[in-house]
Amino acid sequence: MKLLSMKEMNMKDKFFSEYMQLIRNHVIPYQWEALNDRIEGAEPSYCMQNFKVASGKIQGKFMGMVFQDSDAYKWLEAVGYCLMWNPDKELEEIADGAIDDICAAQQPDGYLNTYYIIGGLDKRFTNLKDHHELYCLGHMIEAAVVYYQATGKRKFMDTAIRYVDCVNSIFGAEAGKLHGYPGHEVIEMALVRLYEVTKDEKHLRLAKYFIDERGKQPLYFESETIINQNNFHWKDSYFKFQYYQAGREVRQQEKAEGHAVRAVYLYSGMAAVANETGDESLIRACERLWDNITNKQMYITGAIGASRYGESFTFDYDLPNDTIYAETCAAVGLIFFARRMFELTKDSKYMNVLERVLFNGAISGMSLDGTKFFYVNPLEVVPEASEKDEQKRHVKVERQKWFGCACCPPNIARLLSSIGSYAYTETDECFFMNLYIGGDITTTIHGQNVELHVETNYPWDGAVKISFNQKEEAEFCYAIRIPDWCRKYVIALNGEEIQTDLVKGYVYLHRKWKNGDTITCDFNMEIILNQANPKVREDIGKAAISRGPLIYCLEEADNGNNLHRIYIKKDTKFTEQFEKDLLKGIVTLTCDGEKLVDSNWNEEVLYQIYQDPIFEKKTLKWIPYYSWANRNPGEMLVWVRTKV
């Protein structure tokens, strides 16, 4: 299965095109300034400076975090995607210059990590657990592959390959090699991407090695800690080496544990390798971990990672809404994992989650003007608690400007600048429409030219129209995902309704497609009251509202404060309205609710004999979750109390 390249698409999507433009016009230029320490008032990044020091172009010390190199790579990956759908000579020249600076630092044996080049190569690969060395290489590979795909230029990719060769000569299961693996995963999936381009088995084997070796006894990280006489930071934690998903072999892992971003990056790599090798035990492990996350550890927004401590998963059904971590990067990582699982299975259940994450817990990470970012994406916020309670201080009320060490902003950037590739994938026989994103698509399926036009106002409207502009007929299967949130839908071919069974959640339309053929989909977007499994303690007696793929929330700006005191009834009637001037244009929902008042309470009394609570009627206004915190800071709430 192949993701459509962004080169094959001319995105004309009302919803995503604006995000893509933001990434291209604001995020990427801003980050370039940041990487070069030219943002006034911001902590310097030192990222590009480190490369210049490492190559001897300038004198200096290594500065910044040990994984500072990766910021340049993430930026280059986003640039690569942008260049695919929007060739831009000026940007490409800047990127080429950055690549020159990076490549100049490469050592004769291929090694390329500025922290150790500057600080002492004798220490390289001695702290895999914490020093993100292989993590940086992973991001380098991902960027290099995308940049090659975008521009056809091999310099960066060849540099990455030389570094991979270097790593290959040092790491492996063979005697005499280091039996190590990364503390922060990403290289596994990166190597599969490299293999997809190079078809060099070495690259796949190295990815497979890192996965197979992980967690084997004796534990590499344990030995490394002893040799280095390092403190093991997580020794008193519950997860211990599972913080790194390295407490046991990956095929023995039953539940998603530890650092959430690392976890989903690893699982993505596992699924990517399994996809190439067909390794059944690895596929089972991926399915088990997927099911554990999505059936037991995922917020309704698709967010993952319940605890700030270790930015980690906690345990099944533990989903606090207010002390939550829910890192933007983890949401993006879950999208990577979903994509790979879909490739393995062609099952819409993965794309259903991908859509849920994308439209809620992922894009919530960026402000609507592209200038500010959330690391933490809560489902419940009270500003005073975020200010005064240390357990909630990480839960910010406002997105932060992107300074210094920054993982989430570039992750959002690379996701959104390549979003079309998640929407459309193809096999030799079949074209999959996974997400409904408007634009023109020009591709080839089984040697046949295909030209499509997709028109939609998704996610505000469930109507999607696909028109074929075929010079010649093309025979293939057009597969349409029926979203899990949709209970009523109509698929019509040239105006005629199609009745067909779903196969793993997709409608398959096989045909010789000819010019003028149209498919219309109408996904009925009803407003749904959702409830959580009663095992989720935090959500008992509450409901969350959704419409189509969007989860909704209440914000103080529309509903006043004390949102916790709001109740809705099961049979509440909603009205919906597209407000084009609100939050860049959103469908808002309005309904009747009730609010617990304290007019019968003396402010000076904390406890009294139980009396029937007094409620007042209140009109509630809901906005899509992703759009919260784009006005004055205030309370926000997703799960609202229900009157039984």
| Cα-based angle 113, 115, 119 (whole degrees, multiple of 5) | 125
Contact in structure between 629 and 636 (CB atoms under 8 Å): yes
CB of 194 to a copy of itself, least distance (A): 35
Active site residue 486: no
Positive or negative: CA dihedral 231, 235, 239, 241:
positive
Say whether residue 270 binds a copy of itself (CB under 8 A): no
Cα–Cα nearest to 454, from 1, 8, 3 = 8
Q: Where do runs of H (alpha helix) occur along 172-235?
A: 187-198, 201-213, 220-228
Contact in structure between 312 and 305 (CB atoms under 8 Å): yes
Say whether residue 543 binds a copy of itself (CB under 8 A): yes
**Which range binds a copy of itself by CB under 8 A, 60-68, 307-315, 447-455, 622-630?**
307-315
CB of 282 to a copy of itself, least distance (A): 22
CB of 577 to a copy of itself, least distance (A): 22
Residue 302 φ then ψ, to 5°? 85, -5
Say whether residue 175 binds a copy of itself (CB under 8 A): no
Residues forming beta bridges with residue 497, ordered by sequence position: 492
CB of 302 to a copy of itself, least distance (A): 11
Token digits for 181?
């693996």
Q: Tell me the C-alpha distance between 495 and 515, whole Å.
A: 15
- Kindly determine how many residues on this chain lie close enough to bind a copy of itself according to the rule CB under 8 A: 63
Beta strands in 50-144 (DSSP E): none
Of 447, 580, 612, 617, the one binding a copy of itself by CB under 8 A: 612
Task: Compare residues 426 and 635 and give the one whose CB is closer to a copy of itself.
Answer: 635
C-alpha distances in Å from residue 26, one per residue of 6, 370, 413: 19, 7, 10
**Which range binds a copy of itself by CB under 8 A, 34-42, 132-140, 390-398, 425-433?**
390-398
Say whether residue 310 binds a copy of itself (CB under 8 A): yes
Task: Compare residues 61 and 388 and give the one whose CB is closer to a copy of itself.
Answer: 388
Q: Tell me the C-alpha distance between 407 and 536, whole Å.
A: 30
Tell me if residue 297 falls in helix, strand or coil. Answer: coil
Task: Compare residues 515 and 533 and give the one whose CB is closer to a copy of itself.
Answer: 533
Tell me if residue 215 falls in helix, strand or coil. Answer: coil
CB of 526 to a copy of itself, least distance (A): 10
Task: Compare residues 360 and 456 and give the one whose CB is closer to a copy of itself.
Answer: 360
Burial zone of 340 (CB within 10 Å; 0-12 exposed, 13-18 middle, 19+ buried): buried
CB of 510 to a copy of itself, least distance (A): 32
**Which range binds a copy of itself by CB under 8 A, 46-54, 306-314, 394-402, 430-438?**
306-314
Residues 481-540 that bind a copy of itself (CB under 8 A): 528-537, 540
CB of 529 to a copy of itself, least distance (A): 4
Q: Tell me the C-alpha distance between 601 and 617, whole Å.
A: 18
Active site residue 556: no
Say whether residue 237 binds a copy of itself (CB under 8 A): yes
Task: Compare residues 499 and 611 and give the one whose CB is closer to a copy of itself.
Answer: 611
Say whether residue 601 binds a copy of itself (CB under 8 A): yes
Say whether residue 611 binds a copy of itself (CB under 8 A): yes
Q: Tell me the C-alpha distance between 362 and 379, whole Å.
A: 13
Say whether residue 608 binds a copy of itself (CB under 8 A): yes
Of 223, 228, 391, 619, the one binding a copy of itself by CB under 8 A: 391
From the candidates 8, 311, 355, 380, give the one annotated as an active-site residue. 311
Say whether residue 309 binds a copy of itself (CB under 8 A): yes
Query: One symbol per residue from 335 to 374: x for binding a copy of itself (CB under 8 A), - otherwise; what is it?
Result: ----------------------------------------
Residues 555-594 that bind a copy of itself (CB under 8 A): 562, 564-565, 570
Say whether residue 541 binds a copy of itself (CB under 8 A): yes
Residues 311-340 that bind a copy of itself (CB under 8 A): 314-315, 318, 323
Say whether residue 606 binds a copy of itself (CB under 8 A): yes
Count of residues in the chain: 644
H/E element, 216: none
Token digits for 296?
């037991």
Residues sharing a CB contact under 8 Å with residue 505, sequence separation 6 or more, in sequence order: 347, 348, 349, 351, 352, 481, 482, 484
Residues forming beta bridges with residue 553, ordered by sequence position: 623
Say whether residue 609 binds a copy of itself (CB under 8 A): yes
Cα–Cα nearest to 573, from 508, 529, 537 = 529
Say whether residue 308 binds a copy of itself (CB under 8 A): yes
From the candidates 329, 407, 430, 591, give the one annotated as an active-site residue. 407
Residues sharing a CB contact under 8 Å with residue 256, sequence separation 6 or more, in sequence order: 263, 264, 267, 289, 292, 293, 297, 304, 313
**Which range binds a copy of itself by CB under 8 A, 16-24, 168-176, 222-230, 300-308?**
300-308
CB of 540 to a copy of itself, least distance (A): 6
Say whether residue 280 binds a copy of itself (CB under 8 A): no
Residues sharing a CB contact under 8 Å with residue 361, sequence separation 6 or more, in sequence order: 299, 301, 302, 303, 304, 326, 328, 331, 377
Residues that bind a copy of itself (CB under 8 A): 237-238, 291, 294-296, 298, 300, 306-310, 314-315, 318, 323, 382, 384-385, 387-391, 393, 528-537, 540-541, 543-544, 562, 564-565, 570, 596-598, 601, 603-613, 641-644
Catalytic positions, please?
Answer: 311, 407
